[in-house]
A and B are shown apart, each in its own frame.
Chain A
Amino acid sequence: MSKIWKLDNDIDTDIILPTEYLAFETVEQMKPYAFSPLRPELAGKIQPGDMIVAGNNFGCGSSREQAPEVVKALGISCIVAKSFARIFFRNAINNGLLLIEQPDLYDEVSEGDEAEVIPGKEIKVNGKSYPIASLPENLTEILEAGGLVKAMRKRNGLD
């Protein structure tokens, strides 16, 4: 089961990680500042395995890949939103972070609810089941390899 952290529509990448923290050398250093313009306390509360549920256009804005990297580093198991911005979507998959588009979940759950995610099939929350679609094949391959770096290492005969 995953605890739900609920965020709004149009959560942009400057909120996920402000520009002033992008130049840190490691994602570990960036972690405390995730979501700081909106909810400075949030990064400290997220536990590994938790999930984020959001509205439309999650990850809009810049192409900073630190945004999905820092979310993954916090231990978020997946993000379920009504829709995602396209660069964030590609960046998340390339880092092995699962994103799920689901139109109804956001309107029907509360922060703190517990959910069970069965990829490619459904999300179960509060005794109700929400259907989810599978990703296209080429993206599933990247996700299953553990991200694009690992997929490329395999291509280059290294792993």
Chain B
Amino acid sequence: MGHTLIEKIIGNKVGHEVKPGDIVTVDVDWCMIDDIMVPFAVQKFEEMGFDKVANPDSVVLIYDHFLPATQVDDSRHFRAGDEFADKYGIKRVHRTDGICHQLMTEAGYVKPGDIAFGTDSHTVTYGCVGAFSTGIGYTEMAGILGTGQLWIKVPETIRVEIDGTLPGNVTSKDVILRIIGDLTASGATYQALEFGGSTVDAMSVASRMTMSNMSVEAGAKCGVFVPDEKTCDYCRIPYDDSVKALQPDGDATYTKVMRYRAEDFVPVCACPSLVDNIKPVSEIKGTKVNQVFLGSCTNGRLEDLRTAAAYMKGKHVAPFVKMIVTPASRKIYREALADGTLEILSDAGAIITTPGCGLCCGRGGGILSDDEVVVATNNRNFLGRMGTSKVQIYLASPATAAATAVAGYITEA
């Protein structure tokens, strides 16, 4: 019987064939701990009675949610991380480099076929390079720190096939939002999403990251892409037989197959306050906005900033709108600085902030208050996510965000 991509990845790691429902214990290639969760993971690790970290080189600490600190207690988290790294010989600590989910592949850690766990739900992002990665709590992370292992249940797989060419004003963000709308916020719970088809093959790794990143919003355990030559270029590894073996069999079993024509996609928004409340932008066009946010681990990459800059060149943000742009990493920030992207956005009136999670998790500059409306390129529009529980959050693509910032009301590019 054939296997899906996720069954191949897990099977390769444990050294035997696996099927959905199998409970297996895996050796963990990468552990990512973000600043919010560091003190709690350390506390649990010590309560468990471990005296050493099983594999310090597999551990990456990343400070991003609280950076730069906005509350007096935030720096406690950085201190806890620094002390832990020092005590247990953890060398991979990113203190100011950007968002964890951007750095875990950008900095050359997670590669095709790897297994990674992180203390943040958007750890699913690394599926973009054909890795199995998912979010866990800090107690489980403490267990991995001590043992180097974690038990997992092999998930069933939903196959998503997209073929054709996307319309010019549609990005991979619109694609994944539509898929979440069709699946609902719980439609892929406990399951893997496996993306394929000519549209997906033509996408950049950055565009694929957006889709892997948001697969958890449909409840998925992971969202994986078959690694190809583009993936290997990005990961700076050869496209060899071990990578080529990471693809699903023709006779693999799926719980369902969803098929789309790329030409049928339109710009969409996830409307307040559910990620699966998806509407075409044309239906909500004209909704006045107070703020636009371009950034996050979903859409804070160079191509996202360039998309916005291409639209905004020579235009200006509407006078009553504040547009906040947050590159996902220092590398992206510097690239966007070097190629003039940030200059265009700044000339257009955008506020450019330091790389980090910023506004997405309601911690950074730009918090909103009652009855304000924000169009945002991040991944969650939950009640109270970016300010008070009466803020109206619309999730959209970078193209829609840019067009909306200029118009002052929701509109497509």
Contact = CB atoms under 8 A, between A and B. Distances in A.
Given A19-B361, A86-B219, A86-B221, A61 B382 contact: yes
Describe B's contact surface by its main secondary structure. Answer: loop
A133 interface: no
Interface string A44-86: 0000000000001100111111101000000000000001011
Contacts of A95: 139
Contacts of B36: 19, 22-23, 64
Contact of A148 (B39, B139, B383): B139
Nearest to B25: A138
B50 interface: yes
**What DSSP secondary structure best describes chain A's contact surface?**
loop
A18 B189 contact: no
The contact size tier of chain B is 35 or more
A38 B383 contact: yes
B126 to A, nearest CB: 15
Contact of B137 (A19, A20, A91, A153): A91
B49 interface: yes
Contacts of B142: 148-149, 152
A14 B361 CA distance: 9
B137 A152 contact: no
Contacts of A62: 120-121, 135
A63 B122 CA distance: 9
B237 interface: no
Contact of B77 (A23, A86, A148): A23
B197 interface: no
Contacts of B49: 152-153, 156, 158
A63 B120 contact: yes
Interface string B348-391: 00000000000001110000000000000000101111000100
Nearest to A158: B49
B138 interface: yes
B384 A94 contact: no
Given A37-B383, A37-B384, A85-B219, A149 B121 contact: no
Given A23-B36, A91-B139, A138-B23, A152 B383 contact: no
Nearest to B39: A25
A94 B143 CA distance: 10
A31 B23 CA distance: 34
Contacts of A12: 380, 382-383
A153 B219 CA distance: 32
A127 interface: no
Contact of B136 (A37, A57, A90, A149): A90
Q: Chain B CB within 10 Å — which of A36, A66, A90, A153 has the most?
A: A90
Nearest to A152: B48
A25 B142 CA distance: 17
Contact of A94 (B139, B221, B380): B139
A57 B221 contact: no
B119 A63 contact: yes
Interface stretch (B12-20, B66-74, B238-246, B249-257): B66-74
B60 to A, nearest CB: 16
Interface string A81-105: 0010111001100110000000000
A57 B189 contact: yes
Interface string A136-159: 101000000001110011001010
B384 A14 contact: yes
A10 interface: yes
Nearest to A68: B137
B36 to A, nearest CB: 6
Contacts of A57: 185-186, 189, 219
26 contacts: A12-B383, A14-B383, A15-B382, A19-B362, A19-B385, A23-B36, A23-B74, A38-B383, A57-B186, A60-B186, A61-B121, A61-B382, A62-B120, A63-B37, A63-B118, A63-B120, A65-B37, A65-B137, A85-B219, A86-B189, A90-B137, A152-B48, A152-B49, A152-B142, A156-B48, A158-B49
Given A149-B44, A149-B139, 13 more contacts: A15-B382, A25-B76, A37-B383, A60-B185, A63-B118, A87-B134, A90-B136, A90-B137, A94-B137, A148-B142, A148-B143, A149-B142, A152-B142
Interface of B: 23, 36-37, 39-40, 44, 47-50, 66, 71, 73-74, 76-77, 118-121, 123, 134-140, 142-143, 146, 151, 185-186, 189-190, 219, 221, 274, 361-363, 380, 382-385, 389
